[in-house]
Amino acid sequence: MEEPGQPGGGRERDELVAAAVVAGSTYAAIGQLIGRSARTVRNIAAKPEVQRAIAEGRREQGAAITGRLGGLLDDAVAAIERGLQDPSPAVNLRAAAAAFQHYFRCTSETTLREEVQALHDQLHDLRADRDENGELE
């Protein structure tokens, strides 16, 4: 039986599997790395604590990507603005279409996000009221 803390076993192995899954490695590739079969890796990845680590790793990865994309927004808007000033009517039209498309998508998503937050707040208030009144679920 594998011992926690030993190379290829226990918590270290689980963390390695979680990190490799987040990085996009296949179960077969991870199995070669840790000296186990793809089936064993799949079983390891299915463990609740490994699933939590994978989910957290993916959240962190998504946040990093979102941050990088956010840094590009000023340049993207500037590119659209330059397109609107371009002497070519075709370039002007594409830039205008991009501006409208992104504006309406952004406002729609903002409205939807606000509505979801309002529903979340209402649910929170209802649960708080239920808990205050001692009602069971």
Q: Could you state, in order of their start, the residue ranges of all structural domains in the chain?
A: 1-74, 86-137
Q: In what helix (H) or strand (E) does residue 91 lie, and over which residues does it extend?
A: helix 89-132
Q: In this predicted structure, what is the pLDDT of residue 9?
A: 65
Q: In this predicted structure, what is the pLDDT of residue 7?
A: 43
Report the amino acid identity of residue 83. G
Cα–Cα separations (whole angstroms), residue 42 to 8, 46, 47, 74, 111: 15, 6, 9, 42, 40
Distance CA 5, CA 14 (A): 11
Q: In this predicted structure, what is the pLDDT of residue 137?
A: 56
Q: In this predicted structure, what is the pLDDT of residue 136?
A: 61
Report yes or no: 11 and 5 within 8 Å, Cβ to Cβ.
yes
Q: What is the pLDDT along the chain (137 residues), one digit of tens a residue?
A: 444 444 456 999 999 999 999 999 999 999 999 999 999 999 999 999 999 999 999 999 999 999 999 889 899 999 999 999 999 999 999 999 999 998 988 899 999 999 999 999 999 999 999 888 876 65
Q: In this predicted structure, what is the pLDDT of residue 94?
A: 93
Please state whether the predicted TM-score (pTM) of the whole model is above 0.75: no
Q: In this predicted structure, what is the pLDDT of residue 134?
A: 76
